[in-house]
């Protein structure tokens, strides 16, 4: 599904995708798919981190 989203974004002339997730969800999934960590809010929610990722698409 992620590759389909990236394809649609390219078709719409987007230059990047910026998903976000929590440490208890899927940060490693995005890293494995070529996304770079753009920001992280620690203890948001308490005991977990909130990650923002970015991937350039051309």
The domain ranges of the chain are 2-56
Could you tell me which CATH number the domain at 2-56 has?
3.40.630.30
pLDDT exceeds cutoff 90 at 17: yes
> What are the angstrom distances between the C-alpha of 57 and each of 28, 41, 50?
19, 25, 23
pTM of the shown model: 0.87
The residue-averaged pLDDT of 15-36 equals 97
Q: What is the pLDDT of residues 29-57, one digit of tens each?
A: 999 999 999 999 999 999 999 999 999 99
25 confidence band (pLDDT: 50, 70, 90): very high
pLDDT exceeds cutoff 90 at 58: no
């Amino acid at each position: 599904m992620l590759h389909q989203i990236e394809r649609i974004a390219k078709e719409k002339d987007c230059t990047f995708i910026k998903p976000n997730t929590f440490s208890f969800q899927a940060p490693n999934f995005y890293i494995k798919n070529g996304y770079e960590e753009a920001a992280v809010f620690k203890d948001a929610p308490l005991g977990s981190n909130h990650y923002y990722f970015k991937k350039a698409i051309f």
